[in-house]
């Protein structure tokens, strides 16, 4: 479970375009996820740049392709009120998921956040204001992620 949680956090960090938390070694420049779609029954590819970073940190984006696993994730920062219905279906079917939430959602929907956790889902940090993290300085970057932790 820890490895899976690390994968989800890594995926969040990578999707924001951050090459690494080691700012001195990797600049805060955007890298498009832009994976190549599956062709001829072969798995999708994240591309060379990501595969090198994934290998360096013993992370992954693709599990055992011989198994039929799907990981459900939801960007739950700005949604139209469907989360309770989604949670009902997930509970009924006994399906775990991961919800990445923004700061305002964390403040506005604490009961739903607690329900997610109680029902066995992972709640991930999707930053406080959801800025393009490749366009903010280090202080703002840290604030966006730390503020959620402090709330």
Q: Which of 147, 140, 149 is nearest to 16 (CA)?
A: 140
DSSP conformational letter for 78: S
Q: Where are the domains of the chain?
A: 1-67, 72-151
Candidates 3.50.50.60, 3.40.50.720, 3.40.50.1980, 3.20.20.370; CATH matching 72-151: 3.20.20.370
Q: E strand or H helix at 123, and its extent?
A: strand 122-125
Contact 35, 44 (CB under 8 A): yes
Compute the Cα dihedral for 52, 54, 55, 57 and give only its sign: positive
17 CB neighbour count, 10 Å cutoff: 16
User: Which pLDDT tens digit goes with each residue over 87-119?
Assistant: 999 999 999 999 999 988 888 899 999 999 999
Alpha-carbon span 50 to 15, nearest angstrom: 11
User: Which pLDDT tens digit goes with each residue over 31-90?
Assistant: 666 667 778 888 877 777 778 888 888 887 777 888 888 889 998 867 788 999 999 999
Contact 123, 117 (CB under 8 A): yes
pTM of the prediction?
0.66
């Amino acid at each position: 479970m820890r490895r899976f949680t690390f994968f989800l956090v890594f995926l969040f960090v990578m999707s924001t375009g951050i090459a690494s938390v080691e700012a001195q070694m990797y600049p805060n420049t955007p890298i498009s996820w832009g994976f190549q779609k599956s062709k001829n029954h072969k798995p999708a590819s994240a591309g060379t740049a990501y595969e090198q970073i994934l290998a360096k940190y013993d992370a992954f984006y693709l599990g055992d392709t011989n198994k039929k696993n799907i990981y459900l994730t939801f960007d739950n920062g700005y949604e139209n009120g469907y989360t309770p219905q989604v949670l009902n279906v997930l509970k009924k079917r006994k399906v775990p998921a991961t919800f990445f939430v923004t700061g305002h959602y964390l403040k506005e929907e604490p009961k739903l956040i607690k329900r997610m956790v109680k029902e066995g889902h992972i709640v991930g940090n999707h930053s406080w204001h959801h800025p393009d993290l490749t366009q903010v300085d280090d202080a703002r970057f840290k604030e966006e992620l730390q503020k959620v932790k402090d709330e």
